[in-house]
Structure formats: structure tokens, C-alpha cells
Structure 1
Amino acid sequence: MGIKGLNALVSENAPKAIRSSEMKSFFGRKVAIDASMCLYQFLIAVRQQNGDLLTNENGDTTSHLMGFFYRTIRMVNNGIKPCYVFDGKPPVLKGGELEKRLKRREEAEEKAKEMKETGTIEELQKFERRTVRVTRQQNEEAKKLLKLMGIPYVEAPCEAEAQCAELASKGKVYAAASEDMDTLCYKPPYLLRNLTAAEARKLDVSEYSSQAVLDGLEMDLNTFVDMCILLGCDYCETIKGIGPITAMKLIKEHGSIEKIIEYIETDPKTKYKIPEDWPYKEARELFLHPEVLNGEDVELKWVEPDINGLIQYMVTENGFSEQRIRDGAEKLKKGLKGGTQGRLDGFFKVTSTTQGTKKRAAESVKIKGAKKAKSSAKKR
């Protein structure tokens, strides 16, 4: 679900924290991608012309395999080295949100049945997309495909976006990539949105600087996390009646959820009511101290694709075109080899020394230019 209204708040109050770029501008970058989010994206978006999921001869869904194969190749062709991170067990606090999702899915399934009898094709497809669920088998199939492609993946102990942020924070990758804005609560150096869908949907990649977000909102991480809990997250309900603007106003005035609760409970005119047994402290702990693998202990390796293995898995077992899989594997092989070339800004860091050198060089150019102009004037 992410954080309700957070993107709008950041866009309005910290616009300098967001930069839109073409995918190719991330050439030479390693990126940790929320694989669980990708699975949902691919199952929803990768469809036949009639709107049905792609399937093999046995009737097994293959939309996710096509999504992972071709969109990964697209990133690699742009010089990006992706690493995928899969969800582990969900936090206990997320149980309520998962129940809500299940209920919404069941309602969508009922609507889809109704639309088959009375609705249009567009209405039917809309509700069918809402019934998408990712199975354990589909997770394992995606991992098998990535291994054959030579693309590393990590199995997170808990939330995938938290693990992505950890890998970025420890310098194993440049950024965390996810559509969920709650990734910012784990403070990766950078969050990338639209990365896996960018070129397919002709979108730019949105890059968020976590520190610039905090600076623009004039908050530290603790205050920011408290504001996100007030906005609405996967772990607990919100205070009814408090929307994004009010949430930011209250957190800036009072500094923490505890102080806001104290203000609400002592103000006889308040219209807000604190939820019973509100587990905001537990939610805060999940954001500030998530269960993750230590990024320093995670080794990421990009290797040549197993072309024969890909042909067996994608063509023989799942019915994809052999020529297309071979062509894709060759692009992948070439891209991974070419992607080893680093970015210049990875080799050079701007320091006071290099800044001083640049300044002196600029001054030298000015002096030489002045001397040249003076000499020309004398000749005239």
C-alpha cells in the first residue's frame, strides 16, 4: 500500500528531492529492486490482447516470467545491473492489512463474475486485475529464471523494500527501487520509482534523495517516520479525520506521535479520537529497526546467462519463442559484460582538495585569457 499522500507532500514541500531521468542516465549503477512488487506489476500488466494472463500448454501462468525476462534485459541494455529482493515473512502487524487485501480481492472476484454476465470487456478486465495474487510457486519460478539469467537475488527475512534500503545504505547498490513510498522510511540513499516500467510505459524514472526529502520537510528520520504512520501505513490504522496536510502540521507543531496524543487527549474541543490499542510504537520500530540481512554480509554477483538452461526452461517448459529467448539471452550477455564499465563519478569523489584544484585551474584559465587579450591589444 505504501504511505497515503506522501508523494504529494514531498512533491509540494521538497521538490528538489525528486529528479526525473531517462533510464539510460543510470548507466553503470547497481540497483536493488523490490521483486515482490514486480511480480504483482507483471501479473497485472503482461497480458494477451484479450486481457487474459499468458499461460503455457499446461495452463500455468507465465506473465511474470515474460515480465522478468524482458524488463530485466531492458535495464541491462541501459547499463544497469539489477539485483532483485524477495519478501520474507510478513510482520505480525501487517496481518490486518493483508486481511483487508484478501477481502478486497474476494469482492473483486464477485464483481468479475457479475461483469461476465452484465458488464463490458473493459469492466471485466478491471475487476480481474484486482483479483491478482502472487503464489509461492510464482516466486520460485521467478527466482529460477533470474538464476538462469545470471542476475543475483536476495531472500529478505521480512520486508523486501527494507532489505533493498539496507543494501543501498551499505553501498552494495546505488539505490532501492520500489513503487512503495514507505521505502523512504528505511532511508536508502536514493529511491527509484517507475524503474521496471519506465520504457514499457514511456515514463521517466523518478529518483528521490532521502536526505533531501528530510531537509525539504525540515524533519529528522524519527519525525518523518511518525508523520508517515499518521498518514497511513501497512502496519496500523490512522487517526480518523487526519489527512496529509493536518498530519504534517501536527507533527511539525508537536514533534512526535506521543505529543500529538497528549494534545488530543487534553483538548476538549478536539474532533480526533485515538484508536484503541493503537500499535504506533510497534510500527515505528519496524520502520526504524527492520529485520534485514546485514548488507555488508550480502555478496552480489552478476554472471553470464545459462543460455541452454534458459532454452530448456523458457522454451521447452513454458512455450516461449526459441529465437526470441536466444536473442534476449545474447543481449543480456552483452549488456552484463558491457555493464562492468563503471561511472566516472564512482571513481572520483569531490573533496576540498579537488575543489581547490578546480578553482585554481579556473583562475589559471582566466589569467591566461587576460594575458592573451593584453598581448593582442599591444599588437594592434
Structure 2
Amino acid sequence: MGIKGLSQLIADVAPFAVKEGEIKNFFGRKVAIDASMCLYQFLIAVRAEGAQLTSVDGETTSHLMGTFYRTIRLLENGIKPVYVFDGKPPDMKSGELSKRAEKRDEAQKALDRATEAGATEDIEKFNRRLVKVTKQHSNEAKELLKLMGVPYVDAPCEAEAQCAALVKSGKIYATATEDMDALTFGSSILLRHLTFSEARKMPVQEFNYEKILKGFELSRDEFIDLCIMLGCDYCETIRGIGPKKAI
């Protein structure tokens, strides 16, 4: 889910910590990619267009087509991707996962009602809310990456945490994800829009962790506290505490 309002807060308080560029600027760099987020993007994008891509047997292949072509684009630009897959979610995330399950149940009921009424727009909207990356999706993507000769890592827990650990170890240059959680886990560089910047004609945003801390005038532990107060997957926010008051 990410950290609520963090990217805007960085833009307001520490704009010098973010620079925009093109994908070609990262030629030769090793980048850790949040695989589950990519698979979700592929599944929801095709679902939004009305149907999933399928094989002759009727099995969904949207995630495989997306992974294949996105990886090819990264390799063509000289980027060395390392895909990181989520492991077992931490116990402290159980509350958030329960909420998501409840929302999917509500979306399924709403979809059933929309289907009976023939409400096309509502059907598409609730279909998107039911998209979920399954273990089968992940395993199939791993097999594809193996055949392509592209490395992947199975995280023991959250993918963002593993990405950040790889960056902090010096083995990887940056974490590529749309969620800001990687900064909370201490990734020194976070890249947003890297994996689809060309397709959507958007600049790649490069967030520098140390510059963010400097701009916020916070220690690493204080920055983690800030992210918790803004809202994350692990605990509830504090009522009445928004971004400006939190900092």
C-alpha cells in the first residue's frame, strides 16, 4: 500500500532529494524490482481493458506477457534487473490483510449485483478490485525469468524490505517500486516509474534517502516513526495527525 502522503511531503519539504530523468540514465545499473507489484500492474491493466490475456487453454497469461516485454525493455536500456518476490507476510500485517479480504468480499458482492443489473462500468470497476496476485502467478513468472536468464530473489518476508537490504549491501544500485515503503526500510535510492516510464512517457523519479533525512532534519529512527504516523500496512494512523503535524 505504501506510506500515505510521503511522496507529496518530500516534494514540499525536501524537493532537492528528488531528481527526474530518463530510463537511459541508469544504463549498466543493477536494480531490484518489486515483482509482486509488477504482476499486479499487469493483471489490473489488462482487466481494465475488459479481459485478461489467455492461452489456448484459457489460462491467464497477462502477467507473463507483461513480465516478458517489460524485462526486454529494461535489458534493451542496459539495466540489469533483479526481481524480488514477496515471502510470508509478517504477523503484524495481519490486520491490514484482513481488511483487504473484507474489501474483496464486498467487491465480489457488488460485482454480482452489477452483473445482474448489466451495469458495464460497475462490472469493470469491481473486477479491478478483485485482482490479486496468486502463488501460481508468481511461480509462473519465476519460471519465465529463469528461462530468460534473469535473476530473481525469494524474500523471506516483504519484497520491499529485501530490495532495501540488497541496496544497503551495495550489491544493487536502487529499488524500483511505486510504493514508498522501500525508503522506510532504508533503501538509499528509490526509483519510481522506471518500469513503465517509456510506455507512459513519464520521467523516472529518483529519491535519495540521505537527502530526504537531511531535508526533514530527522534521524533514521525518527523517519520510521514519521512513516508510521503517516499510515502504513502495519498499524493504524493517529487521529488528527497529518503529514505536516507529524513532521
Superposition TM-score tier, normalisation by shorter sequence: over 0.9
Contact 1:46–1:67 (8 Å) recurs in 2: no
Q: Summarize deviations over 1:25-66 as a string: whole Å, max 9, x none.
A: 1111110001111111111113585x1111112221111001
Q: Percent identity?
A: 60
Contact 1:87–1:157 (8 Å) recurs in 2: yes
CA distance in 2, matches of 1:196, 1:55: 23
Q: What residue number does 1:16 align with?
A: 16
Structure 1 segments (4+ residues) deviating >4 Å:
none
Contact 2:47–2:127 (8 Å) recurs in 1: no
Larger gyration radius, structure 1 or structure 2: 1
Counterpart secondary structure, 1:24: helix
Counterpart secondary structure, 1:133: coil
- Residues 1:209 and 2:208 aligned together: yes
Q: What residue number does 1:4 align with?
A: 4
Counterpart secondary structure, 1:90: coil
Q: Paired residues, what number?
A: 247
Counterpart secondary structure, 2:143: helix
What is the CA-CA distance between 1:158 and the residue it aligns to?
A: 0.6
What is the CA-CA distance between 1:117 and the residue it aligns to?
A: 3.3
CA distance in 2, matches of 1:56, 1:110: 28
Q: How does 1:203-282 map to 2 (within 5 A)?
A: 203-248=202-247
Report the RMSD for the aligned CA atoms in angstroms. Answer: 1.4
TM-score normalised by structure 1 residue count: 0.63
Q: How does 1:104-183 map to 2 (within 5 A)?
A: 104-118=103-117, 120-183=119-182
Q: What residue number does 1:60 align with?
A: 59
Q: What residue number does 1:44 align with?
A: 44
Contact 1:32–1:176 (8 Å) recurs in 2: yes
TM-score normalised by structure 2 residue count: 0.96
Counterpart secondary structure, 1:84: strand
The one-letter code matched in structure 2 to 1:238 is: T
Contact 2:48–2:124 (8 Å) recurs in 1: no
Contact 2:187–2:209 (8 Å) recurs in 1: yes
Contact 1:46–1:64 (8 Å) recurs in 2: no
Q: Summarize deviations over 1:100-136 as a string: whole Å, max 9, x none.
A: 1111112122222222233643332122111001111
What is the CA-CA distance between 1:94 and the residue it aligns to?
A: 0.3
CA distance in 2, matches of 1:189, 1:195: 16
CA distance in 1, matches of 2:118, 2:193: 32
Where do 5+ consecutive residues of structure 2 fail to align?
Answer: none
What is the CA-CA distance between 1:229 and the residue it aligns to?
A: 0.6
CA distance in 2, matches of 1:53, 1:165: 32
The one-letter code matched in structure 2 to 1:6 is: L
Counterpart secondary structure, 1:46: helix
Contact 1:14–1:216 (8 Å) recurs in 2: yes
Measured at CA, do residues 210 and 48 of structure 1 come closer, stay the same or move farther in structure 2, by a change above 3 Å? closer
Contact 2:48–2:128 (8 Å) recurs in 1: no
Q: Which has the higher strand share?
A: 2
Where do 5+ consecutive residues of structure 1 fail to align?
Answer: 249-380
What is the CA-CA distance between 1:203 and the residue it aligns to?
A: 1.4
Q: Does 1 or 2 have the higher relative contact order (CA < 8 Å, sep 6+)?
A: 2
Counterpart secondary structure, 2:194: coil
Contact 1:36–1:87 (8 Å) recurs in 2: yes
Counterpart secondary structure, 1:53: coil
